[in-house]
Amino acid sequence: MAKLLAPLALIAGGTVTWACMLGADSAPNAKTAPNSGAQPRAEQGQRAVNVTRLYNDTCAKCHGENAEGGGGGTPSLLKAEKFEQKWDKPFYDAIKNGVASAGMDAYGETLSDKECWALVVHIRELQGRGLRQMNGSPKATDGVYKSKYHNYRVETVIDQGNGLQTPWGIDWLPDGHMMITNRPGSITVAKDGKVIGTIDGLPKSLELGQGGMMEVAVHPQYAKNGWVYLSFTDPAKDGNRSGMTKIVRGKLKISGDKVTWGSEETIWEAPQKFYNGSGAHFGSRIVFDGKGNIFFAVGERGGNMLAQELTNPYGKIYRVKEDGKIPSDNPFVGVTDSIPGIWSLGHRNQQGLTMDAKGNLWDTEHGPRGGDEVNRIQKGANYGWPVVAFSINYNDSPFQTPWPTPEQKITLPVFRWLPSIGASGLDYARGKAFPQWNGDLIAGGLAGQNLDRIRVNGDSLVEREELIHGMGRIREVAVGPDGFVYVALNQPDKVIRLVPAK
């Protein structure tokens, strides 16, 4: 035990807090905090432990620098089974309490809970990398991918070079027109796989970091009412380079190849004081519940703890009527000073939102480093950011532990990606194309470049399967009227789809 402690003491003595490093003058202050970007800081006075160093100094002699094991006969952790999320807690407990029978010490007295959890995150990152190297990506034989229930081909729908620029959202009109939003501010319209042009007269949006023109959502009764909903980064009125997520609806006039936007109505916007210059976390998907309401997501805009404040619009999922009015049975209506549209809180950057055929609302959201989440969204629930999280800080220092106390009343994700994939588009399988996937969530990852099928029963993960990997950053997943799975890629900017194969 004493031998193992030596490197730890060194780390503790050799680190400094943010405040020391920056000097008193430039220490983070309240004025800059909400705009300071995505990275949560180590708390003041907390040892800023570097997790990689901690692992290499303390654990690698037995577990190996890449979790490959070997030291004193320690088994490898690079096994698919040990990568499953059900091992989160047992891994954490092993580090905290030791494994006496195996000769592994308990670290719970010398390391904080956050440090013990950060070591699990580090092991997950090593496993993610190691298993990918060993197992590679899903591969096609003669163009056909074989998966557990269905075989499929990947087809290009709109290739690069056709005007797509960081495509963000996809939806279809009943007559087959396909609309694809481009983050810089336009919407591409295609018919039968051919681009016919872009929509004229759209609201002005601001491409600000991760924000810009984002979601397009066609009303389920479009044939009757003609409404199309958009979310985008609305530029601030003062002309500064700052913005905030805004939701509008409007109607399209289509004559030949000319499509024009008009009859615009604002459905939701925040007061100007909440517009900021951060390029982080706009959220922004829009979902219809079929009962006259829409749900939409607004990210935490770099505001961290503000995601917990009911008086602040950041980091929330909203429910409003289709015309923007507030349903009287929303959970925080009448709670002093709270924003009445709020449906759930404690979100970070929800870039995936869908309501399945049973009426369950699902989101996917980004953790910082590790801990991207799939949540089942319930009325009034708190999803924890930044109080509990599966992640660590981008700078390799510990952040939080994932498990709340009962008093905190925080709802845990049903699934978390560790390491992060940059969770983005989300939809659920339906229709005749892939019947044995029906009801399963299909989720995409930006940095992870992965498309996952996720089956959940109630709040438990049943299975997860990777369908494609490494074709580009996946920003949007949309199951088409044909039941095919459409995917908007970024780098290269194109739209592909999964179609059934024998």
Binding site for ligand HEC (CB under 6 A): 58-59, 61-63, 72, 74-75, 82, 90-91, 94-95, 99, 102-104, 107, 119, 123
For residue 492, is the peptide bond before it cis, meaning its omega torsion is within 30 degrees of 0?
yes
Residue 65 or 265: which CB sits closer to ligand HEC? Answer: 65
Residue 117 or 385: which CB sits closer to ligand HEC? Answer: 117
**Residues written for the chain:** 502
- What is the distance between the alpha carbons of residues 275 and 475, in angstroms, rounded to a whole number? 24
Does 383 engage in binding with Ca ion (CB under 5 A)?
yes
Does 390 engage in binding with Ca ion (CB under 5 A)?
no
CB 404 within 8 A of CB 410: yes
**How near is the Cβ of 408 to ligand HEC at its closest, in Å?**
25
Q: Is 281 assigned a catalytic role? A: yes
CB 88 within 8 A of CB 95: no
- What is the distance between the alpha carbons of residues 92 and 494, in angstroms, rounded to a whole number? 41
Query: Tokens 């998966």 belong to which residue?
Result: 147
**HSE-CB of 207 using CA atoms within 13 angstroms:** 10
**How near is the Cβ of 88 to ligand HEC at its closest, in Å?**
10
Residue 35 or 56: which CB sits closer to ligand HEC? Answer: 56
Does 370 engage in binding with Ca ion (CB under 5 A)?
no
Residue 194 or 379: which CB sits closer to Ca ion? Answer: 379
**How near is the Cβ of 72 to ligand HEC at its closest, in Å?**
5
> Which SS3 state, helix, strand or coil, does residue 100 take?
helix
Residue 471 burial (CB < 10 Å; 0-12/13-18/19+)?
A: middle
Sign, Cα dihedral of 8, 13, 17, 22: negative
Query: Tokens 């801990």 belong to which residue?
Result: 371
Q: Which stretch binds Ca ion (CB under 5 A): 384-392, 418-426, 476-484, 490-498?
A: 384-392
Residue 128 or 303: which CB sits closer to ligand HEC? Answer: 128
**How near is the Cβ of 417 to ligand HEC at its closest, in Å?**
19
The identity of residue 280, as a single letter, is A
- The encoded tokens of residue 142 equal 């003669």
Using the rule CB under 5 A, which residue among 130, 384, 398, 448 binds Ca ion? Answer: 384
94 touches, from Ca ion, ligand HEC, none (C-beta below 5 to 8 Å by class): ligand HEC
Q: What single-letter DSSP state applies at residue 411?
A: P
383 touches, from ligand HEC, Ca ion, none (C-beta below 5 to 8 Å by class): Ca ion
Residue 101 or 141: which CB sits closer to ligand HEC? Answer: 101
**How near is the Cβ of 16 to ligand HEC at its closest, in Å?**
23
- Point out the catalytic residue in the list 281, 347, 366, 469: 281
CB 293 within 8 A of CB 327: yes
Nearest C-alpha neighbor of 243 from the set 255, 234, 252, 232 = 234
107 touches, from Ca ion, ligand HEC, none (C-beta below 5 to 8 Å by class): ligand HEC
136 touches, from ligand HEC, Ca ion, none (C-beta below 5 to 8 Å by class): none
Task: Quickly count: other Cβ atoms within 10 Å of residue 279's Cβ.
Answer: 21
**How near is the Cβ of 188 to ligand HEC at its closest, in Å?**
48
Residue number with the shortest CB distance to Ca ion? 384
384 touches, from ligand HEC, Ca ion, none (C-beta below 5 to 8 Å by class): Ca ion
- What is the distance between the alpha carbons of residues 96 and 109, in angstroms, rounded to a whole number? 8
Q: Per DSSP, which regions of 258-292 are E strands?
A: 258-268, 286-288
104 touches, from Ca ion, ligand HEC, none (C-beta below 5 to 8 Å by class): ligand HEC
Catalytic residues: 281
The residue ranges that bind Ca ion (CB under 5 A) are 383-384
